[in-house]
Structure 1
Amino acid sequence: MDETVDWLRGRPYYEGQVTDYRVFDGRDAQFRDVDVDQRLEGALASDGIDRFYAHQADAIEAVRNGENVVVATETASGKSLAYTVPAFERAMENFGTTLYIGPQVALINDQAETLSALADGLGFGSRVTVDRYTGQLSRTEKEAVRERQPTVLLTTPDMLHYGILPHAHRLWEWFVERLETVVIDEVHAYRGVFGSQVALVLRRLNRVCERFDAHPQYVCASATIGNPREHAARVTGRPESSFALVDTDTSATGPRHWLCWNPPEYEDDGWGSGRRKSSHTEAKRLFVDLVTRGLQTAVFTDSRQTVERYATDSADELRQRGHADLAGQVGAYQAALTDDRREDIEQQLHDGSLRGVWTTSALELGVDVGGLDAVILDGYPGTRMQTFQRAGRAGRGTDPSLVALVAGEDQLDQFVVRNTDRLFETHPEQAVTNPENDALMPDHVRAAARETWLRPDDDRHFGDTFPDVVADLESRGDLDRRTTDAGLRWLYSGAGSPQHEMSLRTAADREVQLRTRDGDIIGTLPFDDALRDAHPGAIYHHQGTTYEVTDLDLTHDVAELDRTWADYYTRVLHDKTITVEEDFEEKAVDAYPEVPVRFAEVTMRKQITGFERRDSNSGEVLGERPLDLPETTLRTRALYYTLPPDLDRALRERGDFAGGIHAAEHAMISMFPFQFLCDRRDIGGLSTPMHPHTDRSTIFIYDGYPGGVGLARSGYETIDDLAETTLEMVTSCGCERGCPACVQSPHCGNANDPLSKSVATDLLNALVTGDLPTDGGN
């Protein structure tokens, strides 16, 4: 691998782009003995497992001791044995059942095959039977699963929500009353809206289990995150103190070579440096180089459309270099593919017949594709957790592997490649979820009442707002109050199935279909996303094809698309206002006590006014068009802070005040993913020189989902750390006026106008140090 790295660094077009090169030594495995049933020991040995890593032994013993367990270790560290051994033992001893929950069907299928093969190795009469129960099964196949009564059942949160809990008393009683173990795989994936929804589903599961006098243990498997015990508790509804934490990885690894890679700058475009060439084209060139040198390579990128486009472009470049054979061995992997196609790619990666793949996070989770030689990260994945999760896909046993992080031009990417110690030497981010979300709670309480009657003490599961939610649902006629010998009860009295009236994957209740001229439906988007990405004139990429949206029919919620060869992309412009509905908490900034920070409920109103066309290569604005679209509203949670008169006055004297607070808002939002597991679009903001609620200049940062998912609250609680990290990011950027690497935002609805980096720096410095800006300052 050293030879490959030297060769890459010596290529003329890569000169000066490597900002850091590190080699992390491999480690020897640490083992510990665990006594297991002789048949299970034999089956494991047949699968090549004759010893347990020490962390596997710790987890197995904790489960045996009756504790809930969260295992937070690296990719490919054998976390699955922590639940496999106890699950099989319990089935063999007393027909105890295990429910395995995974976030993706591909992961379910992969795990089901592995566990089924192990169960077959136990021989006839072991009592261990494995089945999957997903939305891919036909009605007849689902009936057959229930008739077989497996002891290990694998499903998704969606199918638990739609297909199991609503029928627990009629179709699944045999399973729930014997339920001893609930496995939550990839628990770090349950964050934001999806995590909040799943947390409420699991609270409903806990209620149903109590109804059958079942008290299962939770075994959670996680990537390395900053708060594994707390997060596992929030997701499962169990006390944090009940979880044993296993987070020391004792598996064997080979040396891992890390390259941090910064694409070259454009020539000075008036911003005083900072504009960089596309990470996609740099990642493509690096990918082709590695594949031609014989390294099986995966490129992780965050857009399905990028995956499709650059997998095609990579194959074309391989042909141009005279490697037509390798061009046919490059694939694109993303969640929108058919199940058969995904499974085919997984198998080809595993057996080595596919030499390279462009992929979204769909391949990040625990699907077994063997070990790759190299991983390229096309852009910083957004969090350190995701960075190392994806990097963990590289490496076969103790063989050396290569990871290359190719930075984009935005704030997080550039901060990371300029401050690589922060990447490699700081703790991973915290996962955030909010099962108390008042926009999600009512639907789940209705569903819970449909599954088994509600009782006053169900606030143990649903929190302090539960009585108010029940009272509201009762007044609307959704719940029927009964007084029984056992006490007060509520039953669901509405029509239909409340479970089928909501989706776990989104907080949206309205979707827009994307339809081609031929009438094919190529996808759907939540309503707000459709206004942004599928407005008339928008450019939309799908499966290697570029489309232009020719019409958006909001009466029937259909967007019409037509193929195009356009070499530009589109970005919407919008106006926003925020109304403060209720202030919940207030505190002061540590270094500047005169600056109050509040946590509040707010309503954000957004009006999309038009869109820009931008050159695909340079990002240059090619033109602007108006749009006539409806206003949208979002009731959510926000943190906001106001500037006291002395700081306000000092900043106004320094220059463009409105541009300064706007730039500071952008910068703080951009650094949220450096502290919490979230996407850049999960957070929004607004800055105003005068807000009617405060009568002062005010900066808002809000959750991008109805009811909030906990991000704004987390930012409120850590505002001082957030301000310090943001100041470090802004001041470490070498541009003069502000650029995409510090204060510009690709999601700004005002086309990044106005912005003032110098005034933003003064503001952030005041928040961190308490010092007012002076003429001798920045």
Structure 2
Amino acid sequence: MDETIRWLRDRPYYDGQLTHHETVPGHDATFADLDLPDRLATALEKQGIERLYGHQAAAVERVRDGDDVVLATDTASGKSLAYTIPAFERALDHTGCTLYIAPQVALIEDQTDALQDLAHGLGFGSRVTVAQYTGRQSKSEKRDIRERQPTVLLTTPDMLHYGILPHSHRLWEWFVERLETVVIDEVHEYRGVFGSQVGLVMRRLNRVCERFDSSPQYVCCSATIGNPVEHAATVTGRSESSLSALTDDESATGPTHWLFWNPPEYEDNGWGSGRRKSSHTETKRLFVDLVSRGFQTVVFTRSRQTAERYATESADELRRRGDRDAAETVTAYQAALTNERRRSVEEGLQSGEVRGVWSTNALELGVDIGGLDAVLLDGYPGTRMQAFQQAGRAGRGTDPSLVVLVGGEDQLDQYFMRNPTEFLQAEPERAISNPENRQLMPGHVCSAARETWLTPTDDRHFGPEFPEVVTELTETGDLDRRETDAGIRWLYDGDGSPQHEMSLRTIDDQQVQLRDRASGDTVAKLPFGDALRDAHPGAIYHHQGRTYEVVDLDLDLGVAELSQTHADYYTQVLHDKTITVEDDHDERPMPGREDSTLRLADVTMRKQITGYERRDGSSGEPLGRFALDLPETTLETRAFYFTVPEPVERAMRERAAERSETADTDEAFGGGIHAAEHAMIAMMPAELLCDRRDVGGLSTPLHPHTDQSTIFVYDGYPGGVGLTERAYADIGSLVSTTRRMVASCDCADGCPACVQSPHCGNANDPLDKDLALDLLRELDEVGDTDR
């Protein structure tokens, strides 16, 4: 591998991009003995599994002992046997049932094949039957599955919500009565709004199981996260004390060579420093070189459009080099492909016929593709957990593997390019969800009442907000309150199915269709708020390799009309924003600062999109501003906020005056707190499993609630999903990480790698990096090593 790395550094385009090379050593496997039923042991041996790793055997033993288990180990560590063995043992012994839940149908199909192969290996009459139950099946296929009564059923949380729980009393009674194990695979994926919704679905499942006197165990499989027990408990509705965690990976791995590869900066051309050339271009160069050298390589990139475009360009480049055979083995992989095409790519990677793939995170989850020689990360994926999940796809047994992180230009990318050791050695992020979100609970409480009557004791499932939610739903007529000999009960009193009135994957049910004016085809659907931002008149919208301009937006009809264009610019909205504090829940001094108050509150954020900018597609230079007349939107959510200490504000203003006699100190101070707000939002994904679009912020030199200069950071979803609560609790760590990020950027005035934001509604004006750093230093109680 060292020879290959030297070869990459000798390529014609190399100009110092390799900023760090670190080898993470592999380790030998540790095995453990485990008694298995003869029939199951034989079936596993046919698949080449003669012994279990230590963590696999330990997980099986704990399930046998009746524990709920969360197994949080690396990619390709064999987590599936932790639930497969108990599921098959119980089915062989007394036809106990297992419910397997995964976030994506592709993963369900892969696991269905693996489990069916193992079931067939048990031989005739084993009583172990496997079936999947998803929205892609016809009514007759679903009916046939129910009639066969499989012992292992695989489904998505969406299908559990829509298709199983509403019919548990009629169509699924046989299954719930025999249900002994619930497997939640990729449990780290259930975070934010989706995780909060799924947590409420699992509480409804727990209630239905109680009705049928079943008490299944939970087996949760997760990537390495910072809070596996806490998160699994939040999703499953079980207590943390009932969960047993296994986090040591005892499988065999080879050494992994990590390369940190930073694209060169543009030469300063007068429109700003710190801008770097495209990570896509650098990744394509590396990809083509590695594939041509015989390395089976997968690139993980963020968007479907990028995957498709650069897979095509990579194949074209290989043909230009005369390597037509390799070009034919390069393809793209993303969720919009047909089932047949996805399966073809997966099988090609397993067999080696496919040599190179550009993929979205659709290939990140546990679909079996074998071991790769190299993984390229086209930009930091957003979290270290996700980066290590994707990197874990590289590695064939104990052979060395190569992972290259190609830096993008934003804050987290460049922070880790400058601080690679912190990336490799930092504690994993924590997954956050909030099943007690008051915006989400009413729909699930109605659904629960439709599935089986509610009683006052259901607060043990839904939490302390349950009585108030029930009271509100009774007053609106959604629930019917009855007094019976058994006590108070509530029944759903509406028409139809409350389950079908909500989506688990969004919180905003109002959708806008994006329609191609020429063909009449629907290009995409966006939530209302996203449509105002991305589909306003004049917006440039990219979809599957095509560029459109939005020519009309009819919010009454919920339709945006698009026309294809060859525009070489992009658009960015401008907006005004206000925040009103509705209720302060908690407050304390900022760590180390008695003169700055930190609060956690319910807030209302009001946003008015006022216009948009056109920016050059290559340089990012502004090309003009245009006004828009769009409705104001409001968001009722949770936020933390803190006041800027008055002595610090005075010092910031004095420094601005010292730098220039003509300085507008009001504007400079506003730019300082604005830049600090941007930087804190950018670094929240370094602490929590979230995207920076999951949070928003506002900084103001004077807020009416505090009568001081104040910085707000709010949860981007109605009711909040727990992000700001956790950041409030760990504010010292967030401030310290943010300070280090800004201080380590060597730009002069602020750039996309430190304080600029691509989502800023004020076009990043004003921003003052130096004053932001002054503020962060004063707030950081950890240290002042960069003063």
Q: State the match for 1:604 in structure 2.
A: 605
Q: State the match for 2:635 in structure 1.
A: 634
Q: State the match for 2:245 in structure 1.
A: 245
Correspondence list, 1:364-379, <5 A: 364-379=364-379
| Equivalent pair of 2:329/2:354 in contact (CA under 8 Å) | yes
| Equivalent pair of 1:279/1:408 in contact (CA under 8 Å) | yes
* Alpha-carbon spacing, 1:507–1:371, altered in 2? closer, same or farther (3 Å): same
Correspondence list, 1:214-225, <5 A: 214-225=214-225
**1:411 positional shift:** 0.6
Correspondence list, 1:165-314, <5 A: 165-270=165-270, 273-314=273-314
| Equivalent pair of 1:312/1:544 in contact (CA under 8 Å) | no
2:73 alignment partner AA: T
**1:371 positional shift:** 1.4
1:113 alignment partner AA: D
In 2, Cα distance between equivalents of 1:619 and 1:316: 28
Question: Per-residue CA shift, 1:175-199, capped at 9, x if unaligned?
Answer: 0011000000000000000000000
In 2, Cα distance between equivalents of 1:396 and 1:510: 47
Q: Secondary structure at the match of 1:743?
A: coil
Correspondence list, 1:658-677, <5 A: 658-677=670-689
Q: Secondary structure at the match of 2:48?
A: coil
Q: Secondary structure at the match of 2:612?
A: strand
Q: State the match for 1:26 in structure 2.
A: 26
Q: Is 1:724 the counterpart of 2:725 in the alignment?
A: no
Q: State the match for 2:35 in structure 1.
A: 35
Q: Secondary structure at the match of 1:252?
A: coil
Q: Is 1:566 the counterpart of 2:567 in the alignment?
A: yes
In 2, Cα distance between equivalents of 1:771 and 1:221: 38
Q: State the match for 1:504 in structure 2.
A: 504
| Equivalent pair of 1:272/1:736 in contact (CA under 8 Å) | no
Correspondence list, 1:694-733, <5 A: 694-733=706-745
1:657 alignment partner AA: F
1:329 alignment partner AA: T
| Equivalent pair of 1:278/1:617 in contact (CA under 8 Å) | no
Question: Per-residue CA shift, 1:426-458, capped at 9, x if unaligned?
Answer: 110000010110110111101000000001010
Question: Per-residue CA shift, 1:122-159, capped at 9, x if unaligned?
Answer: 01111110000000000000001100000000000000
1:754 alignment partner AA: P
* Alpha-carbon spacing, 1:176–1:123, altered in 2? closer, same or farther (3 Å): same
1:523 alignment partner AA: A
Q: State the match for 2:755 in structure 1.
A: 743
Q: State the match for 1:434 in structure 2.
A: 434
Q: State the match for 1:646 in structure 2.
A: 647
| Equivalent pair of 2:435/2:441 in contact (CA under 8 Å) | yes
In 1, Cα distance between equivalents of 2:534 and 2:201: 30
2:712 alignment partner AA: F
Q: State the match for 1:523 in structure 2.
A: 524
In 2, Cα distance between equivalents of 1:493 and 1:732: 59
Q: State the match for 1:577 in structure 2.
A: 578
Q: State the match for 2:662 in structure 1.
A: none
| Equivalent pair of 1:301/1:360 in contact (CA under 8 Å) | yes
Unpaired segments ≥5 residues, structure 1: none
| Equivalent pair of 2:582/2:602 in contact (CA under 8 Å) | yes
Q: State the match for 2:118 in structure 1.
A: 118
| Equivalent pair of 2:459/2:467 in contact (CA under 8 Å) | yes
In 2, Cα distance between equivalents of 1:559 and 1:4: 50
Q: State the match for 1:513 in structure 2.
A: 513
| Equivalent pair of 1:271/1:738 in contact (CA under 8 Å) | no
**1:592 positional shift:** 0.9
In 1, Cα distance between equivalents of 2:603 and 2:340: 45
In 1, Cα distance between equivalents of 2:396 and 2:148: 38
Q: State the match for 2:665 in structure 1.
A: none
In 1, Cα distance between equivalents of 2:13 and 2:167: 61
* Alpha-carbon spacing, 1:629–1:314, altered in 2? closer, same or farther (3 Å): farther
In 1, Cα distance between equivalents of 2:602 and 2:220: 32
| Equivalent pair of 1:514/1:522 in contact (CA under 8 Å) | yes
Correspondence list, 1:4-15, <5 A: 4-15=4-15
Question: Per-residue CA shift, 1:161-184, capped at 9, x if unaligned?
Answer: 000000000000000011000000
In 2, Cα distance between equivalents of 1:280 and 1:103: 28
2:366 alignment partner AA: G
In 1, Cα distance between equivalents of 2:531 and 2:315: 31
2:56 alignment partner AA: Q
In 2, Cα distance between equivalents of 1:160 and 1:168: 10
In 2, Cα distance between equivalents of 1:546 and 1:331: 22
In 1, Cα distance between equivalents of 2:262 and 2:587: 41
TM-score relative to the length of structure 2: 0.97
Q: Secondary structure at the match of 2:89?
A: helix
After TM superposition, the structure 1 stretch with the greater mean CA deviation from structure 2, 664-673 or 292-301, is 292-301
In 2, Cα distance between equivalents of 1:465 and 1:724: 35
In 1, Cα distance between equivalents of 2:223 and 2:439: 29
After TM superposition, the structure 1 stretch with the greater mean CA deviation from structure 2, 453-462 or 289-298, is 289-298
In 2, Cα distance between equivalents of 1:315 and 1:284: 10
Unpaired segments ≥5 residues, structure 2: 657-667
Q: Secondary structure at the match of 2:331?
A: strand
Q: State the match for 1:548 in structure 2.
A: 549
Q: Secondary structure at the match of 1:467?
A: helix
After TM superposition, the structure 1 stretch with the greater mean CA deviation from structure 2, 433-442 or 619-628, is 619-628
| Equivalent pair of 1:308/1:542 in contact (CA under 8 Å) | no
Q: State the match for 2:421 in structure 1.
A: 421
Question: Per-residue CA shift, 1:645-699, capped at 9, x if unaligned?
Answer: 2222222222210000000000000000000000110010000111111111110
CA RMSD of aligned residues (A): 1.5
Question: Per-residue CA shift, 1:240-285, capped at 9, x if unaligned?
Answer: 0111111100101112111001110111245774221111111111
2:595 alignment partner AA: E
1:744 alignment partner AA: Q
1:546 alignment partner AA: T
2:746 to 734, 743, 751: 734
Q: Secondary structure at the match of 1:593?
A: strand
Q: State the match for 1:684 in structure 2.
A: 696
In 2, Cα distance between equivalents of 1:337 and 1:530: 24
In 2, Cα distance between equivalents of 1:408 and 1:770: 28
In 2, Cα distance between equivalents of 1:552 and 1:298: 39
| Equivalent pair of 2:732/2:781 in contact (CA under 8 Å) | no
| Equivalent pair of 1:271/1:735 in contact (CA under 8 Å) | no
| Equivalent pair of 1:107/1:367 in contact (CA under 8 Å) | yes
| Equivalent pair of 2:590/2:642 in contact (CA under 8 Å) | no
After TM superposition, the structure 1 stretch with the greater mean CA deviation from structure 2, 450-459 or 11-20, is 11-20
Q: Is 1:756 the counterpart of 2:768 in the alignment?
A: yes
1:236 alignment partner AA: T
In 2, Cα distance between equivalents of 1:157 and 1:654: 55
Q: State the match for 2:659 in structure 1.
A: none
In 1, Cα distance between equivalents of 2:550 and 2:342: 28
Aligned residue pairs, count:
774
| Equivalent pair of 1:22/1:257 in contact (CA under 8 Å) | yes
Q: State the match for 2:354 in structure 1.
A: 354
In 2, Cα distance between equivalents of 1:410 and 1:288: 25
After TM superposition, the structure 1 stretch with the greater mean CA deviation from structure 2, 687-696 or 270-279, is 270-279
In 2, Cα distance between equivalents of 1:607 and 1:334: 35
| Equivalent pair of 1:271/1:737 in contact (CA under 8 Å) | no
Q: Secondary structure at the match of 1:195?
A: helix
Question: Per-residue CA shift, 1:552-597, capped at 9, x if unaligned?
Answer: 2212112222222222222221111111111111011121121100
Q: State the match for 1:392 in structure 2.
A: 392
TM-score relative to the length of structure 1: 0.98
In 1, Cα distance between equivalents of 2:500 and 2:782: 53
* Alpha-carbon spacing, 1:37–1:769, altered in 2? closer, same or farther (3 Å): closer
1:203 alignment partner AA: R
**1:736 positional shift:** 1.4
In 2, Cα distance between equivalents of 1:572 and 1:324: 44
Q: Secondary structure at the match of 1:595?
A: strand
| Equivalent pair of 1:470/1:479 in contact (CA under 8 Å) | yes
Identity of aligned residues (%): 69
In 2, Cα distance between equivalents of 1:353 and 1:610: 50
* Alpha-carbon spacing, 1:354–1:224, altered in 2? closer, same or farther (3 Å): same
In 2, Cα distance between equivalents of 1:332 and 1:527: 30
Q: State the match for 1:316 in structure 2.
A: 316
After TM superposition, the structure 1 stretch with the greater mean CA deviation from structure 2, 721-730 or 344-353, is 344-353
| Equivalent pair of 1:349/1:369 in contact (CA under 8 Å) | yes
